[in-house]
Structures are given as structure tokens and as C-alpha cells.
Amino acid sequence: MKSSLALFSVAALAFVSVAHADDPMPMETTSSATTPSVTSPIDEPGAAGENATPAPVPVTSPAPAPVTSPAPAPTPVTAPVTSTRARLSTTPSRPRIKDDGDSRLEKKEDTVAGGKHWRIKTAQGAVHVWVPADYDRATAGTVVYVHGYWTDADGAWRDHELARQFRASRQNALFIVPDAPSSNDEQVQWPALTDLRRAVTRANIKLPDGPIIVMGHSGAFRTVMQWVDHRAVDQIILLDAMYAGERAFDDFINSGKRADDHKLIVVSASTEQGSRAFVNKYKFAVAREKMPKDVGGFSKRERGAKLLYIRSQYEHMRIVTSKSVIPVLLRVTPLKAL
């Protein structure tokens, strides 16, 4: 009897001691224009409640692809090292700059992919801004691209060659790439889109008055879901990012006070199960398998859909590195073509 009790105690202690590691976020692969624009008025604060934080939503790391064999007991895991492993920017960590909230922000200007590029220093991290060579602010819109985990704005800008992808879209827009969380341990740097827009104007870059498109990859959902109540956002494009935030995105596309004016595109790979569950709730949703090679591959119904769901043939990271998704989807927006 004593021997049995001893064996039971040892087994119980062994079970408790097993480490339960979070499922790793899909690893992301982590690419600097010549006369500053005219000083612009500061972006006006939004209406009350504009950037109110949605009801708390559990944030979970994206799950790996389903397996056919029974899963083993949880054991500590480390992120796999592959040829496409993401990495944080190799730029040495920089101390946060001091910011009084009103002074001009420092920026550096150069030419990238034939267009003007600025890198703005802010207390919330780097912000990249780019416009194409034939940009016309009078008819332009704005695209805010939010990167996912395991990289930062500098890394995503460089390694995902975002300027070249933006140029390939041939859209007349001012493109903004801000810093965002690189893991679950980091806070959202820009919980209010108004503050990000204001930072750009404080760097002496005038914003256009056209449509605002928000595009986010993977863990970017944590930032994007906090912008659904911004009065000026016209369309959101989620690139394998439906890990959580369903209530916020429902507010944007269905139940919010401005939902009738909004469009949403949901692309899935790793998030197929959650994305399909979300989309299936809406009778007005339109679904298709695979990304077309160009915008002409979308049907008229798909291009006009209020909610478009696409099951991507590209895996999680290839969605943002293949140069076959971002440029094409930016053409299914209200932006003006160049």
C-alpha cells in the first residue's frame, strides 16, 4: 500500500511540473525620399468614443496547422529555425525619444522604389511613410499597414520590401507603416489611429483627404481592432489575422453606427477555422478559394462585396512576402489608380 501511494505521488508531481508553453506565433520574415512636404495643420481629435477600446478579447497566439495524429502531452517548445524564420530588425535597440506631444518630429528622407520615403522617430517607435513617384495628394487616400509578430516596422519595411509592393499596387496613396507589437508581451504602440496620423503631420507631412485603408498581418489584429471606431476608416484588410477581435470586427462591418459604409476583406491560411466561423455569420459575405493572379481575376460580385473572404493558397508568411497578395488586394479598395 505504501509503495502504491508513493508511486501515485511521484506521478502527480511529474504532471504538475510539465511546462505549458504558448503555441508559437507563425514566424515572420523580417527592406529608406527628397523635399519635405508643406507643413500641415495637426490632425483634429476624433469624436468621443472614436478609439474606445473594445470589450476585452482573449489574445491567444496563433495555433500551428492541424495535425492528423493525436497531439502529445504538452512539453516546452522553442520556435523552429527554418530558412524563412522571422527575425527582429538587426538595427541595435534604440532608446525611446522624449516627446512633449506638440513639437516637430525628426525624420530622415530618401528615395525608395522610385518614391519618396521618410522614417519618422516617435516615442512609440519608428514610422515609415512612402508615396509613389506620381503621387497626387489632391486625389489620394491613405494606407496604414500594420506588421505582425517577430518583427518591427524597420524589419517589415526592409525584409518584406513593402515599398516595392506598394508601388506594384499602382494606387495613389500615402502609405504609413508604424511600429506594432512583436509578441504577446508587448503593448500596442498606437491604440488610437488619430495619434498616429497626428505624428505624421508633426513630421511636416501633409495627409491626403481620401479614403483610409487599414491592412494588418497576423498579430496586427491587436492594433487594428482598436481602430474600428475611427470615423475615417473605410476598409480593413486582415491578412491571416483573425486570431481574436471578432466582436470589434463585427462592430466595424455589421453592428456599428457606421457599419453600412465599411468593407472588410479577410484572408486566411493559419486562421482558416476562425476566419470561416466569423464570415459564415453574415449572409452578405462572399467567399472564394485562392488569390487571383491580378485584380481582373476577381468577379464583379467579389470586388463589390461588403465582406470578402479568401482562403489563401499562400502560407502565413508568404502572404506578405510573395508580392502576390498585398498589391492585388490594394486594388480592391476605393483608392484611385495611378
**What is the pLDDT at residue 144?**
98
Q: Is the pLDDT of residue 236 over 60?
A: yes
User: Given 3-state DSSP classes, what are the helix, strand and coil percentages for the chain, each rounded to the nearest 5?
Assistant: 25, 20, 55
Q: Are strands 173-178 and 125-131 parallel, antiparallel or unpaired?
A: antiparallel
Q: Is the pLDDT of residue 259 over 60?
A: yes
* 296-327 pLDDT per residue, tens: 999 999 999 999 999 999 999 999 999 999 99
Distance CA 271, CA 310 (A): 11
> Could you tell me the pLDDT band of residue 65, with boundaries at 50, 70 and 90?
very low
Domains of the chain: 30-43+82-88+106-329 (3.40.50.1820)
**What is the pLDDT at residue 2?**
44
Q: Is the pLDDT of residue 119 over 50?
A: yes
pTM for this model (two decimals): 0.74
Angular region, 114: left φ>0, alpha ψ -120 to 50, beta rest: left
DSSP secondary structure of 66-104: P-SSPPPPP----PPP-TT-----SSPP-PPPP--SSSP
**What is the pLDDT at residue 32?**
38
Cell output for 62: 496563433
Give the strand order in the sheet containing 107-112.
107-112, 115-122, 125-131, 173-178, 141-146, 212-217, 233-239, 263-268, 307-311, 285-289
Query: Worst-scoring range by mean pLDDT, 64-68, 180-184, 273-277?
Result: 64-68
* 160-208 pLDDT per residue, tens: 999 999 999 999 999 999 999 999 999 999 999 999 999 999 999 999 9
Distance CA 81, CA 96 (A): 30
Residue 167: C-alpha distances to residues 29, 36, 83, 133, 205 (Å)? 20, 20, 27, 9, 19
**What is the pLDDT at residue 137?**
98
Q: What's the whole-number average pLDDT of the chain?
A: 81
Residue 74 and residue 22 in contact, taking contact as beta carbons nearer than 8 Å: no
Q: What is the pLDDT averaged over residues 226-234?
A: 94
Distance CA 152, CA 240 (A): 18
Residue 111 and residue 34 in contact, taking contact as beta carbons nearer than 8 Å: yes
Regarding predicted confidence, which is higher, 12 or 318? 318
